[in-house]
A and B are shown apart, each in its own frame.
Chain A
Amino acid sequence: GAVVSQHPSWVICKSGTSVKIECRSLDFQATTMFWYRQFPKQSLMLMATSNEGSKATYEQGVEKDKFLINHASLTLSTLTVTSAHPEDSSFYICSANTPGLMNEKLFFGSGTQLSVL
């Protein structure tokens, strides 16, 4: 099946710093990648949709200047949390898609637990 690699798995940072999270599709070319955020004991909330070579589409209420998404290649998308604050602490998960996989099980990255002190 389609494999999606995400790292780091876990990051602790000081308030005000920026953190970059990478999401890679290992055995297929991902035309679209999705970024989700999950707070403890809550569901996954879609933050943005990232299409290769174009600007990301952000969901309502997500600050595009704070959560920078870059999808420069068909196998890599990055999410940068800029000037992180404690309220940004969350579990961030990516998933990747390509038209041929639309009807298959969609696979997710392993997730990144971000803790901002």
Chain B
Amino acid sequence: ELKVEQNPLFLSMQEGKNYTIYCNYSTTSDRLYWYRQDPGKSLESLFVLLSNGAVKQEGRLMASLDTKARLSTLHITAAVHDLSATYFCAVGDNTDKLIFGTGTRLQVFP
């Protein structure tokens, strides 16, 4: 059974600082997604990673995938308040299903 874990669960960081969110999963997968969720809202798609070594960047966020280690990272560069949200990784199993990580609640303060 595929299990997905994220850490940290909660992250409070100062504006301008860098940090990384980690997503570990338990079985082989060929696709991994990162999503952002604002309070009371649905999911906003950020990245899809499909191959070992894949790296994607958009703005202050960069996601990478290491399929051998079963690990994905979401790196935040020079955080700003607007990045405050909950971030989820989700891993595709061998069917169409997505299994979501526990989520990381990010709070960026001045």
Contacts and interface: CB of A to CB of B under 8 A. Distances in A.
Interface of A: 1, 6, 32, 34, 36, 41-46, 49, 93, 95, 97, 102-111, 113
Contacts of A32: 96
A67 B41 CA distance: 22
B99 A46 contact: yes
Which among A6, A45, A103 has the greatest number of chain B C-beta atoms within 10 A?
A: A103
Contact of B43 (A42, A108, A113): A108
Interface in B70-110: 88, 90, 95-103, 105
A103 B31 CA distance: 8
A43 B100 contact: yes
Interface residues of B, number: 23
Contacts of A6: 42
Contact of A111 (B42, B47, B99): B42
B97 A113 contact: no
B97 A104 contact: no
Interface string B31-50: 10101000011110101101
A43 B101 contact: yes
A46 B45 contact: no
Contacts of A41: 105
30 contacts: A1-B45, A32-B96, A34-B97, A34-B98, A36-B100, A41-B105, A42-B103, A43-B88, A43-B100, A43-B101, A44-B90, A45-B100, A46-B99, A49-B95, A49-B97, A93-B42, A93-B43, A102-B31, A102-B96, A103-B31, A104-B48, A105-B45, A105-B47, A106-B33, A106-B48, A107-B45, A108-B42, A109-B42, A110-B41, A111-B41
